[in-house]
Amino acid sequence: MVDRPARHDIPEIDDFTRPYWDAAAEGRLLVRRCCAAACGRAHHYPREFCPHCWSEDVVWEEACGLAELYTWSVVHRNDLAPFGARLPYTAAVVVLAEGPRMMTEVVDCPEDRLAIGMRLRVAFRREADVPVTAPVAVPVFRPDAAG
């Protein structure tokens, strides 16, 4: 058995989050939406209840994949594997078209082009050499060519 450094960029997939990660592996971003008549709001990160009205009547919904940049920080130092090999990278919060904010990474965009409100589109980083049985794809965002 080969000792590998701990991976801090790979999700722990459980029965509840499996639909999210399976969709990501297919190139689709999911959010949760409340079905309560008085609420109906989308939320992210996935939870088994609505964080706005506390209803347990929530379902998975495919997001359109568009977002706007809310805030960001360019990371120049990170000693955790595998982040050190990605330096510098842009950690960000985006506002999904469906409403919720999402922590993510902005890729394929020079630091001097980043701007609050810029239009972004979801992309998926395929994680290589992951010791799991299913492929893992992590949602990231890049500038939207259409906007």
pLDDT digits (tens, 9 = 90+) for 20-46: 999 999 999 999 999 988 799 999 999
pLDDT at position 47 is: 93
pLDDT at position 1 is: 47
The verdict on residue 129 lying in a domain is yes
The verdict on residue 109 lying in a domain is yes
The verdict on residue 31 lying in a domain is yes
Q: Residue 69: pLDDT above 90?
A: yes
pLDDT band at 136 (very low <50, low <70, confident <90, very high): confident
Mean pLDDT on 92-116:
97
Query: In a 10 Å sphere around its CB, with 0-12 CB exposed, 13-18 middle and 19+ buried, how is residue 21 labelled?
Result: buried
The verdict on residue 101 lying in a domain is yes
Domains of the chain: total? 1
How much is the pTM? 0.87
Which residue range is the domain that position 88 belongs to? 18-143
The verdict on residue 89 lying in a domain is yes
The verdict on residue 4 lying in a domain is no
The verdict on residue 91 lying in a domain is yes
**CA atoms lying within 13 Å on the CB side of residue 2:** 4
Distance between first and last Cα of the chain: 49
Amino acid 24 reads: A
